[in-house]
Amino acid sequence: MADVPRRPLPSRLYAIVDADIAARANWHVPDLADAYLQAGVRLLQIRAKDAAGRDVLAWTEAIARLAGDAWVIVNDRVDIALVAGTRHVHLGQDDLPVPEARELLGPDAVIGLSTHTPAQIDVACGEPIDYLAVGPVFGTQTKATGYEAVGLAGVRRAHAAAQAAGVPVVAIGGITLETAPDVIAAGASSVAVITDLLHEANPGARARAYLERLSRV
């Protein structure tokens, strides 16, 4: 593993602001991000697969001004993380390879990597990443990964492999307020949630409920 400064994840809740899902719930991306930040979220991702780059950049810059010490992570777009100055990215299996992203972003950047299989996890544990994401944990319609749900057993396997490499695990996929404590108990350092944070009319209150419940695990 390359020499990457190790740091704990700042929150057990990893809130993902998905532009399409936010729009369907009548939320503007920066406003939804601000609701989560005001609720106490300190680990936040901006995910906008189909938005124009100029929009994602504007959203990222706006959210960064609100974020304080929270981590603002851009999904896929290393270029936007660089231009916006946030320098934190989450990469998928088909995105820019981690070593190249690390070279561009520098040693202090936060880089996460999605994994779905034991083989991908093994490879990821040898990469200069800050966290390893595993999923989908449960069935989800939010993101079509092409992979079967890994379940809590998959989270436990990812944790065992990542622990040896000193890398925290973020679990994602179909997680709800009711199942999140079990996912943390299975070895995840944080749970990534998109849809269930919009389960109620007040997503900030929902985020606070997650943070409060997970603080007791």
Structural domain range at position 165: 13-214
Residue 1 domain flag: no
For residue 21, pLDDT over 70 is answered with yes
| Residue 144 pLDDT exceeds 70 | no
Query: Does residue 5 belong to any structural domain of this protein?
Result: no
pLDDT at residue 188 greater than cutoff 70? yes
- The answer to whether residue 6 sits within a structural domain is no
Q: Among 3-7, 108-112, 136-140, where is mean pLDDT lowest?
A: 3-7
Tell me the angle at which helices 53-67 and 29-39 cross, rounded to the nearest 10 degrees: 20
Model confidence over 44-101: pLDDT tens digits? Answer: 999 999 999 999 999 999 999 999 999 999 999 999 999 999 999 999 999 999 999 9
Per-residue confidence (pLDDT) for residue 139, from 0 to 100? 86
DSSP E strands, the chain: 13-18, 43-47, 71-75, 89-91, 111-115, 131-134, 169-172, 190-193
Report pLDDT for 3. 61
The CATH number that applies at residue 163 is: 3.20.20.70
Return the pLDDT at 112.
Answer: 98
pLDDT at 137 over 70: yes
Q: Residue 198 corresponds to which amino acid?
A: L
Q: Which pLDDT score, from 0 to 100, does residue 115 have? A: 98
pLDDT at 84: 97
Return the pLDDT at 146. Answer: 72
Which ranges of the chain does DSSP label H, i.e. alpha helix? 19-24, 29-39, 53-67, 78-84, 98-105, 118-124, 151-165, 180-185, 203-214
Mean pLDDT of the chain: 95
CA distance 213 to 217: 7
Q: How far is CA 11 from the centre of its chain?
A: 11
pLDDT of residue 1: 42
- Residue 95 is predicted with a pLDDT of 96
Q: How many domains does the chain have?
A: 1
**Sign of the C-alpha dihedral computed for residues 107, 47, 143 and 22 taken in this order:** positive
The answer to the question of residue 40 being in a domain is yes
